[in-house]
Amino acid sequence: MEICSSIVVINPYLVLTNACLKIKGSKITSLSFESGSLEDKPTIMTHGLASLHTHLALYPIRHSITCSYDLDSWVLNFAWPWERILRQEPELSYYSAVLALEELISSGVTAVADMHFNEEHVARAIEEAGIKGDLCTPIMDGGVYDNFEEAIDENLKLARGLYGKTNFMVRLGPCTPRLLTPDQVRYVIDLAIELRLGLHMHVGEVYADSTYLTKYFGLSVRDFLEYVGLGAVDTILAHGIWLLDGLNYLVWKPVVIAHSTRSNILLGSGLIDVKNYRSTGVDIALGVDVAPTYNALDELRAFLYAQKLECTDYFDVLHMITSAPYRSMGFGTGSLTVSEPADVAVWDVSDKLGYLIKSKPYSLLTQFFTYEFVSALAEGELRLKELYAGGKLIARDGEPTVLRSEISRAYRKVSEAISDLYSKSALPEPY
For residue 257, pLDDT beyond 90: yes
Whether residue 295 sits in one domain with residue 199 = yes
Helix (H) or strand (E) holding 267: none
Q: Give SS3 for 356.
A: helix
Q: Give SS3 for 383.
A: strand
Where is the domain boundary, 301, 329, 357?
A: 329
93 close to 121: Cβ distance less than 8 angstroms: yes
Percent of the chain residues past pLDDT 70, beyond the cut = 94
Alpha-carbon gap, residue 414 to 424, rounded angstroms: 16
Alpha-carbon gap, residue 57 to 119, rounded angstroms: 9
Where is the domain boundary, 284, 300, 329?
A: 329
Q: What is the pLDDT of residues 83-133, one digit of tens each?
A: 999 999 999 999 999 999 999 999 999 999 999 999 999 999 999 999 999
Whether residue 57 sits in one domain with residue 40 = no
- pLDDT value, residue 361: 60
Which of 275, 269, 281 is CA-nearest to residue 240? 269
CATH classification of the domain holding 258: 3.20.20.140
- pLDDT value, residue 206: 96
Alpha-carbon gap, residue 266 to 256, rounded angstroms: 23
- Please report whether residue 415 resides in a domain: no
Whether residue 348 sits in one domain with residue 292 = no
Whether residue 280 sits in one domain with residue 360 = no
Whether residue 144 sits in one domain with residue 208 = yes
Whether residue 41 sits in one domain with residue 53 = no
Alpha-carbon gap, residue 334 to 394, rounded angstroms: 18
Domain region containing 143: 49-329
Structurally, the chain folds into a number of domains equal to 2
Range 315-323 average pLDDT: 93
- pLDDT value, residue 312: 73
For residue 290, pLDDT beyond 70: yes
**Which residues touch 260 (CB under 8 Å, ≥6 apart)?**
53, 238, 239, 286, 287, 288, 289, 291, 299
Whether pTM exceeds 0.85? yes
Whether residue 309 sits in one domain with residue 378 = no
Whether residue 357 sits in one domain with residue 290 = no
Percent of the chain residues past pLDDT 90, beyond the cut = 76
Whether residue 115 sits in one domain with residue 211 = yes
**Which residues touch 139 (CB under 8 Å, ≥6 apart)?**
148, 151, 152, 155, 172, 173, 174, 175, 180, 188
- Please report whether residue 409 resides in a domain: no
- Please report whether residue 412 resides in a domain: no
Residues in a beta bridge with 339: none
Helix (H) or strand (E) holding 108: none
Whether residue 370 sits in one domain with residue 302 = no
> Using CB atoms within 10 A of its CB, is residue 248 exposed (0-12), middle (13-18) or buried (19+)?
exposed
- Please report whether residue 168 resides in a domain: yes
- Please report whether residue 407 resides in a domain: no
Q: Give SS3 for 353.
A: helix
- pLDDT tier, 44 (very low <50, low <70, confident <90, very high otherwise): very high
In this structure, the number of other CB atoms found within 10 A of the CB of residue 270 comes to: 14
- pLDDT value, residue 309: 60
- pLDDT value, residue 405: 84
Whether residue 108 sits in one domain with residue 78 = yes
For residue 427, pLDDT beyond 60: no
For residue 310, pLDDT beyond 80: no
Q: What is the pLDDT of residues 139-174, one digit of tens each?
A: 999 878 889 999 999 999 999 999 999 999 999 999
- Please report whether residue 277 resides in a domain: yes
- pLDDT value, residue 195: 97
Whether residue 325 sits in one domain with residue 278 = yes
- pLDDT value, residue 364: 60
Helix (H) or strand (E) holding 350: none
- Please report whether residue 335 resides in a domain: no
For residue 275, pLDDT beyond 90: no
Q: What is the pLDDT of residues 188-243, one digit of tens each?
A: 999 999 999 999 999 999 999 999 999 999 999 999 999 999 999 999 999 999 99
CATH classification of the domain holding 26: 2.30.40.10
- Please report whether residue 296 resides in a domain: yes
Where is the domain boundary, 329, 359, 387?
A: 329
Q: What is the pLDDT of residues 337-384, one digit of tens each?
A: 999 999 999 999 877 777 777 776 655 656 667 888 888 899 888 999
